Amino acid sequence: MANLLRPAILAAARSSRIKSAITHAPGTRSLVTRFVAGEARDDALAATRALLDSGRAISIDHLGEDTTDVDQARAIVAEYRSLLGDLAELAEAPGSHRLEVSVKLSALGQALPVDGDKIALDHARELCEAALAAGVWVSVDAEDHTTTDGALSIVSALRADYPWVGAVLQAYLRRTESDCRDLAGPGSRVRLCKGAYREPASVAFQSAAEVDDSYRRCLAILMDGDGYPMVASHDPAMIDAATAEARRTGRGPDRYEHQMLYGIRDVEQQRLADSGARMRVYVPYGAQWYGYFMRRLAERPANLTFFLRSLATRT
C-alpha cells in the first residue's frame, strides 16, 4: 500500500490546487503541528529549548524551497541570520555543537534562472559566516536528484573556509554509494537519509528493500571512513545497523550521531539520548510547510490515515 500511495502523495506536493484544498482544510493544522514546530521563529526556539533540556541536539530548518525571486531569497537569508542571532544565546561551550541549522539551496536562490548556483553559494557563505560567529553548525539539505551535483559542488566550495559544513545524501539514489566514498574523508560531516522525493527508476531505487540495502551499504562506507556519519533514520533496523557498524569500526558516541524528525518517535529519540548516544532532532518551522508536510505523509501510510481521519471527524 505504501508503494502505491507514495507517488500520488508526492505528486500532490507539487499541485497548487491540492495545496490550496489541504492548507484551508479545518483538520489540517492539528496534524501539521505534529511535524512542524510552528510558523514563527519563537515557536521554533521554544521547541529547541525544550529539546535541549531533554539532552537532545537540534538542527533547525526554516521551511522554504524553489525560490524564484531574488528578494524572496534575501528574505530567507535575513530570517536565517536572525535565527542564528537567537541561537547564539543558546549555544553552550565552544565545540559542543548541539545547535545546527539546515538550509535548502533552492530556498537561497539555486533555482533562479540566471546565476542561481552563484547566488545560492554567496548566500550560503553569508550564513556560514554568521553561524561561525554564533557557534552553530550548518548542513546543506538534499533535494531532488537534479540538484545533487550543484549542491555537492557548493558544499565543496563552502568547506574550503568552513570545513564543518554538513552534506546530506539520500540512500535511494543509485549514485549515493559513490558519493559516500567521495565524502568519507577526515572531518566530513555527512547526514545519510533514505530520501523523500519522487524520483524515476533510472536514478533511484524504487522498492523499500532496495533502499534499505543501499542505506546499509552507504552506512558501512561512512563508518569505515574518517568523517562524522549522521544516521538520519527512524527505522529500528537502520538504528540497529548503525549501532553494529559503530561497534565494528570502534566508533564511540562522540564520533557519530543519530538524527530524527521533530514529532516522530519521540520516545525512541529520548531513549537514545538517555543511553549516551548523540541524538539530533530536525526542527522545521515557517509558513511554507506544505511541501515538507506532504513528504512526511508520503513516508508513512499511518500519517496519511491519521490526517484523513482528522478531516472526516472535524466539527
Q: Say if residues 63 and 143 touch (Cβ distance below 8 Å).
A: no
Q: Say if residues 164 and 192 touch (Cβ distance below 8 Å).
A: no
DSSP character string of 241-292: HHHHHHHHHT--TTS-EEEEETTSSHHHHHHHHHTT--EEEEEEESS--HHH
Torsion, Cα of 74, 127, 42, 44 (10° steps): 110
**Rounded Cα gap, residues 222 and 185, in angstroms:** 9
Rg (C-alpha) for the chain, rounded Å, is 19
Beta pairing class for 189-193 and 228-232: parallel
SS3 191: strand
Residue 310 is placed in which grid cell? 482528522
**Rounded Cα gap, residues 237 and 233, in angstroms:** 9
Q: What are phi and psi of 298, to 5 degrees?
A: -70, -25
Options 61, 141, 144, 179, the catalytic residue = 141
Exposure of 283 in the CB half-sphere (CA atoms within 13 A): 30
Options 191, 278, 280, 295, the catalytic residue = 191
Neighbours of 282 (CB within 10 A): 21
**Rounded Cα gap, residues 225 and 180, in angstroms:** 9
The reply to whether 74 belongs to the active site is no
**Rounded Cα gap, residues 67 and 70, in angstroms:** 8
Exposure of 236 in the CB half-sphere (CA atoms within 13 A): 4
The reply to whether 191 belongs to the active site is yes
- Which residues are tagged catalytic? 141, 191
